Structure 1
Amino acid sequence: MSFAPPRNIPNFGSGQRQYEDNIWSSTGRSRFSNGNSESLNPFAGQFSFQGGKELPLYKDKPYNYPASSRRRSKRLWAGITLVLVVICYLFWPSGGRPKLTHKSGFSRDSKIWKSASQSEKHWLEQREKVVEAMEKSWAGYEKHAWGYDEYHPNSKSGRQMVPPTGLGWIIVDALDTLMLMNLTTQLQHARQWVSTTLTYDLDHDVNTFETTIRMLGGFLAAHYLQTAFPKMCPIEFGKGGEDLYLEKATDLAERILGAFDSPSGIPYASFNPKSMKGLPSHSDGGASSLAEATSLQLEFKYLANLTGEANYWEKVEKVMEVVDATGEKDGLKGIYVNPATGSSSSNNIRLGSRGDSYYEYLIKQYLQTKEPIYQEMWTEALNGIKKHLITYSTPSNFTVLAERPWGLEGEIEPKMDHLVCFMPGTLALSATGGLSVAEAKKSGKWTAAQQADLDIAIELMKTCWGMYKITKTGLAPEITYFHIPDHPQLYNPSGSSRPIPPSLDIFERDHSAEATWRTDFIVKPADTHNLQRPETVESLFYLWRITGDETYRRWGEEMFTSFMKYTEAPDGAGYTSISDVNVIPPPTRNNMESFWPAETLKYFYLLFSPNDILPLTDVVFNTEAHAFPRFQMGKLFKTGWARKKRGADGMIIREVENHDQKTAKPS
Structure 2
Amino acid sequence: MAYQPSRSPFAPAQQDSFYQNSRNGLRGYGLSNQPIPLSNKVNGYFEKDRTLPLYKDKPYFQPRRTGPRRRWRPFFALLGVCSLVFLLYYNFYLPSWTGSRSNDKGVELWRWAQTLEDEKASSDTSDWAERREKVRDAFIVSWEGYEKNAWGYDQYRPVSNVNQEVTSGGLGWMIVDSLDTLMIMNLTSKVHRARQWISTSLRYDQDRDVNTFETSIRMLGGLLSAHYLSTQFPDLAPLNDDDVGAAGEDLYIEKAADLADRLLGAFESPSGIPWSNVNLNTSAGVPVHFDEGATSISEAGSVQLEFKYLAKLTGEAEYWKIVENVMKLVDYQLPQDGLVRSTIHPDSGSFKGDSISLGSKADSYYEYLIKQYLQTSQQEPIYKEMWDEALKGIRKHLVTFTKNAQLMVIGERPQGLEKELLPRMDHLVCFMPGTIALGATGGRSLSEARKSSDWSQQREEEILMSRELMKTCWAMHKRTATGLASEISYFTLDSEPVMMGDKYPALATNPKQGSKPEALKGISKSLETQNDGSESWREDIEIHRNDRHNLQRPETIESLFYMYRITGDDMYRQWGWEIFKSFVKHTAVVEKKSVSRIPTPTNKEPIFRIKGFTSLGNADAIPPYRRDNMESFWMAETLKYFYLLFSDRDFISLEDHVFNTEAHPFPRFKPSGDLKTGWERKPRQ
Give the superposition deviation at 1:447.
1.3
Partner of 2:403: 394
2:192 paired with 1:188: yes
From 523, 529, 534, the equivalent of 1:501 is 523
Instruction: Give matches, 1:45-124, under 5 Å.
Output: 49-52=54-57, 93=103, 122-124=127-129
Change (3 A) 1:165 1:593: same
From 506, 509, 514, the equivalent of 2:534 is 514
Partner of 1:425: 434
Give the superposition deviation at 1:49.
3.8
- 3-state DSSP class of the match of 2:414? coil
From 584, 588, 612, the equivalent of 1:568 is 588
RMSD: 2.9
Give the superposition deviation at 1:52.
3.6
2:534 paired with 1:534: no
Instruction: Give matches, 1:471-510, under 5 Å.
Output: 471-491=480-500, 492=504, 493=507, 494=514, 500-503=522-525, 505-508=526-529, 510=530
Structure 1 stretches of 5 or more lacking a match?
Answer: 1-10, 18-45, 55-65, 97-116, 648-667
Instruction: Give matches, 1:367-382, under 5 Å.
Output: 367-369=374-376, 370=378, 371-382=380-391
- 3-state DSSP class of the match of 1:422? helix
* The 10-residue stretch of structure 1 (399-408 or 181-190) with the greater mean CA deviation from structure 2: 181-190
Partner of 2:598: none
2:147 paired with 1:142: yes
Partner of 2:662: 624
Give the superposition deviation at 1:240.
2.9
- 3-state DSSP class of the match of 1:573? strand
Change (3 A) 1:469 1:14: closer
* The 10-residue stretch of structure 1 (633-642 or 555-564) with the greater mean CA deviation from structure 2: 633-642
2:308 paired with 1:301: yes
Change (3 A) 1:47 1:187: farther
Partner of 1:157: 162
Partner of 2:362: 355
Partner of 2:19: none
Distance in 2 between residues matched to 1:16 and 1:319, nearest whole Å = 29
Contact 1:532–1:596 (CA under 8 A) maintained in structure 2: yes
When normalised by structure 2's length, the TM-score is 0.78
Contact 2:461–2:520 (CA under 8 A) maintained in structure 1: no
Distance in 2 between residues matched to 1:383 and 1:485, nearest whole Å = 23
Render the CA deviation track for 1:576-623: whole Å, top value 9, x for unaligned.
Answer: 001111111111000001100000000000000011111001000000
Structure 2 stretches of 5 or more lacking a match?
Answer: 1-31, 39-50, 60-76, 107-121, 508-513, 592-609
Distance in 2 between residues matched to 1:293 and 1:445, nearest whole Å = 32
Contact 1:136–1:574 (CA under 8 A) maintained in structure 2: yes
Contact 1:481–1:522 (CA under 8 A) maintained in structure 2: yes
Contact 1:397–1:499 (CA under 8 A) maintained in structure 2: no
Partner of 2:66: none
2:276 paired with 1:255: no
- 3-state DSSP class of the match of 2:588? coil
Partner of 1:615: 653
Contact 2:53–2:200 (CA under 8 A) maintained in structure 1: no
From 463, 468, 481, the equivalent of 2:477 is 468
- 3-state DSSP class of the match of 2:137? helix
When normalised by structure 1's length, the TM-score is 0.80
Partner of 1:329: 336
Contact 2:267–2:285 (CA under 8 A) maintained in structure 1: yes
Give the superposition deviation at 1:532.
0.2
Distance in 1 between residues matched to 2:78 and 2:187, nearest whole Å = 32
2:653 paired with 1:633: no
Partner of 2:68: none
Distance in 2 between residues matched to 1:320 and 1:203, nearest whole Å = 30
From 459, 467, 487, the equivalent of 1:458 is 467
* The 10-residue stretch of structure 1 (618-627 or 634-643) with the greater mean CA deviation from structure 2: 634-643
Q: How many residues align?
A: 563
Q: Which amino acid aligns with 2:128?
A: W
Contact 2:464–2:520 (CA under 8 A) maintained in structure 1: no
Contact 2:474–2:556 (CA under 8 A) maintained in structure 1: yes
- 3-state DSSP class of the match of 1:416? strand
- 3-state DSSP class of the match of 1:400? strand
Give the superposition deviation at 1:95.
6.8
2:271 paired with 1:264: yes
- 3-state DSSP class of the match of 2:551? coil
Contact 1:179–1:232 (CA under 8 A) maintained in structure 2: yes
The percentage of aligned residue pairs carrying the same residue is: 53
Contact 1:149–1:158 (CA under 8 A) maintained in structure 2: no
Distance in 2 between residues matched to 1:507 and 1:67, nearest whole Å = 68
Instruction: Give matches, 1:599-610, under 5 Å.
Output: 599-610=637-648
Contact 1:537–1:556 (CA under 8 A) maintained in structure 2: yes
- 3-state DSSP class of the match of 2:285? strand
Give the superposition deviation at 1:283.
1.0
* The 10-residue stretch of structure 1 (530-539 or 239-248) with the greater mean CA deviation from structure 2: 239-248
Partner of 2:4: none
Q: Which has the higher contact order (CA 8 A, sep 6+)?
A: 2
Distance in 1 between residues matched to 2:520 and 2:436, nearest whole Å = 19
Change (3 A) 1:49 1:330: same
Render the CA deviation track for 1:301-320: whole Å, top value 9, x for unaligned.
Answer: 00000000000000000000
2:247 paired with 1:226: no
Contact 2:35–2:250 (CA under 8 A) maintained in structure 1: no
Distance in 1 between residues matched to 2:649 and 2:345, nearest whole Å = 42
Change (3 A) 1:498 1:458: closer
Contact 1:208–1:256 (CA under 8 A) maintained in structure 2: yes
Partner of 1:39: none
Distance in 2 between residues matched to 1:498 and 1:409, nearest whole Å = 26
Q: Which amino acid aligns with 1:574?
A: G
Partner of 1:319: 326
Give the superposition deviation at 1:511.
5.8
Change (3 A) 1:636 1:591: same
Partner of 1:209: 213
Change (3 A) 1:14 1:168: closer
From 266, 285, 290, the equivalent of 1:278 is 285
Contact 2:105–2:141 (CA under 8 A) maintained in structure 1: no
- 3-state DSSP class of the match of 2:409? strand
Contact 2:123–2:570 (CA under 8 A) maintained in structure 1: no
